[in-house]
Each structure stands twice: as C-alpha cells, then as structure tokens.
Amino acid sequence: MSDETLSGPKALGHFLRTRRENTPPETLGLPATARRRTRGLRREELAQLSGISTTWYTWIEQGRDVAVSARTLSSIADALRMNATERGYLFRLAQLTDSRDEQASGVNSSVLACVHQVSTPCYVLDLTWDLLAWNHAAETLFSGWLDSDNAPNMMKFMFLHPLAKSLVPDWDTRCGRIVAELRAEGIHYMQEPRLQAFIHEMSQASDAFRTQWARQQVVERRGGERHFHHIVSGELRYTQVSWRLSGNRAVKMVMLLPES
C-alpha cells in the first residue's frame, strides 16, 4: 500500500512535483535542449515563471510546513497552465480559497432544461436565489407567484410576497434557515458585486431579512421535510433534495419529492 499522504504540505508538494515533471518546457515557450535529463520543467524554471524564488518554490515542493499564500499558489497554477479541475485540487490540498471561485459563471441551457424531465416540483437557483428554470409542477405549487413573476427570486418571494406566509406554514423558521444558507454559501463569493448589491437590496426592502442577516447564522444547505398549505390542493408534504452544479457551485437544483 502506498504511503502517500492525501492532504497537507507533503501531498501538495508531491502534486506540484508531478505536474512540473510532466510539463514539457516547449509547451510554455521554453527551449527543449539536449542537456535535459527529464522532459519536464526544472524547479528554477517554474519558479521564474511563477515570479517566486527557486528556494521558496523548492520548500513548497519538498512539503515543508511553510505558509503559502493564495496569490503564490495562483501564480504556480497559471505557470503550469492547470485546468479548472487541477487548479481546484491544488487549492484544496493547500486548504486555501481560490479567488477565481468567487466569480459566478453562467449555466448551460441544457442543464436548465433538465427540470422539464422531472415530474415533481423542480427548479434551479443561482447565487442570489434567482430562479433560472422551473418546471410545470413547480409553477403549480407556487401558483400566484411563478405563473405571474417575470423575474422570480425565491428569497424575495419568501420575504416580500404576500403569498409566502400562507403557503409556507413554518415561514419564520424557513426564513431564518434560507438567510443562514445564503450567508454560508456567499462566503465564497463575497467579492461578487451582484451578491453584495442583492444583500443590500433585501436589507432595505425587508425588516425581517435585515434582522435575520444580522444574526450572523450560517448553515449548510441540505434536504428535509418541506410543508406547504396550498390554496387548491390543501396540505402538501415533500422531501427536498438539492444538488450543486458541477463546475459552478453557486447554482443548485432543487427537487421536491412527494411524501407517501
């Protein structure tokens, strides 16, 4: 069995060394001379491309317990031309947050179309809880809102729409929960101007939101029982299941499964 560690400075160093040794210099515009004993980059070359000293890079690659900044790690990742998956793995090994993760990207139309393949209420939320897509079952559940709002937002619905308090029996509890989820999720995107503007807008528009936001509570988003009092269908109970979109954790798909 391999004695390779899966996390920590040694794992970080091992990953960087492997990536360096498997990066042909010619792919980065460096000459491939006959004097090279390996096909990969030398430490001094990668250090120069990353804008750091060879000694400092060597310490990182050797797995020494040194304080590596996110900026330094980003420079190394750029120098090695890491793709998004490799870059994400690198930052997780170092237990650092990549500033590029703070940029919420768009969503492919085929992903949004998935909601229409689901028979139960299903919808997709973005960073600020705008509904990017929803199916007919969701529109029926949220009749009086989704069928009339041209730019539906779940957070605005819960705090500002008059239907919310009658549709959601545990309205107070749910409102506290979703604000705590927004704060927890938003920590990855606090430099995103749209998120900052949204929080300010909601704080100005809703005393209840402002109060909940000031509580500084954070919880992870998870499923569980959801209870609705529908004006036509009466009492409805679902189990909520949520998924994050691969490659864009700011986007989540929510499905409500009827309880038997």
Position 2 pLDDT exceeds 50: no
Q: Summarize the confidence of residues 174-196 as an average pLDDT.
A: 87
Alpha-carbon Rg of the chain, whole angstroms? 24
CA distance 23 to 11: 18
Q: Summarize the confidence of residues 193-208 as an average pLDDT.
A: 94
Highest-scoring range by mean pLDDT, 85-89, 97-101, 130-134 = 130-134
16 with 76: CB under 8 angstroms? yes
Position 117 pLDDT exceeds 80: yes
CA distance 79 to 180: 38
Position 145 pLDDT exceeds 70: yes
What is the DSSP code string of 97-163? --GGGGS-----HHHHGGGGG-SS-EEEE-TT-BEEEE-HHHHHHTTTTTTT-SS-BHHHHHHH-TH
The distance of Cα 142 from the centroid of its chain, to the nearest Å, equals 26
Q: What is the pTM of this model?
A: 0.67
Domains of the chain: 9-102 (1.10.260.40), 109-258 (3.30.450.180)
Mean pLDDT of all residues in the chain?
Answer: 87
Nearest residue to 134 (alpha-carbon basis) of 154, 112, 156, 153: 112
The per-residue pLDDT for range 48-90, each reduced to its tens digit, is 999 999 999 999 999 998 888 888 999 999 999 988 778 888 8
Nearest residue to 95 (alpha-carbon basis) of 57, 63, 59, 68: 68
Position 36 pLDDT exceeds 50: yes
